[in-house]
Structure 1
């Protein structure tokens, strides 16, 4: 396979930015998923271009779909973790608990 053209790279970059924004993720999340060396967009694109060179467009799409699936599973796991309770049995809603609830509700919207 050949490398992505400059126009394709530009389109991929725009797609990634939109995807990350709509999924509530960051370039750091994508870096971890790709096991890239940096969160910088050129480095992330280079990692994806490497996949494209070896597996073509199907491989690239499969990799991104796999990342999306992993993220959804992580989100579901976070949503199923029970909230901690105080010793008297009432719900303990400290600052971090409130923040976590807010984040969860924003991701559902």
Structure 2
């Protein structure tokens, strides 16, 4: 288990501190490979493309967003994985999420 630094904010990137994320029926279909032609994926796969949060940083080429803006997204975010836990440490992963001090998604590997 390790904490990762924030990803770099390059000119056309908006960094969002995600406060809520959703997993939809399409996510399990992608995970099972049923939609491989439409949604090619690479493992480890992090399901859940819908998110809401607050803009934490913006690149210099970004227009229309400012730090502090509340935003929602339906699938165009690039996911930043903060930490990965083995399945037997799922309770530790849950406790980490509950602290509210996570920068990115927490992944439990199965």
TM-score where L is the length of structure 1: 0.24
Q: Which structure is richer in relative contact order (CA contacts within 8 A, separation 6 or more)?
A: 2
Computing the radius of gyration over CA atoms, which structure comes out larger, 1 or 2? 1
